[in-house]
Copies of this chain bind each other. A is one copy, B any other.
Amino acid sequence: MCPATRDTEKLPESMGVLLRLVKSELMCAMEEELTAQGVDLRHSQVHALRCLYLSGPMSAGELARALAYDAGAMTRLLDQLEERGYLHRRPDPDDRRALRIELSTSGTALVRKLADYKERVLDRALGALDDEERRRLTDYLQRVLITLRQSH
């Protein structure tokens, strides 16, 4: 379930490798936590459900932007979640192109049940950092992201 790269002796120094590994391990940890709770969903799927729960119904495009997801990927993500009954695609009454994605009862229940699984995992992952360091890590990453986006 996890990348088979954990037995590397020494820590990667390259920023690219480092980012890839941390992201991949974090995703793995999230998904282990999910399967531990008997939920057969990817972290990204739960993230979408949670986003709908927190912000209420929205269009597929809005949801894609909220998760920084590709539109095509979002269609398929919605397919899977709708198939399993966690949400419904309703027509938007004001715009016949658009959808209004709504959590179903079971989708809402699932999000409530999972509650703060993400916070738990993050807390474990960031356990080696104190509050100040966590704040800084987020800050640094955001600043790097801004720089990268500006430079093209």
Q: How distant is A62 from chain B, measured CB to nearest CB, in Å?
A: 11
Contact B6 A149 (CB under 8 A): yes
Task: Check A15–B26 contact: CB distance below 8 A.
Answer: yes
Contact B152 A128 (CB under 8 A): no
Total residues of chain A contacting the partner, CB 8 A: 59
Copies of this chain present: 2
Q: Decide: B23 and A16 in contact? CB cutoff 8 A.
A: yes
Instruction: Judge whether A105 is part of the interface by a CB distance below 8 angstroms.
Output: no
Complex: chain B residue closest to A143, CB-CB: B128
Specify the chain B residue showing the minimal Cβ separation from A4.
B70
Instruction: Among B124, B142, B152, point to the contact of A11 (Cβ < 8 A).
Output: B142
Report B-chain residues with C-beta under 8 Å of the C-beta of A28: 148
User: What are 7 A-B pairs with beta-carbon distances under 8 A?
Assistant: A15-B138, A16-B47, A19-B22, A19-B23, A125-B147, A137-B140, A137-B144
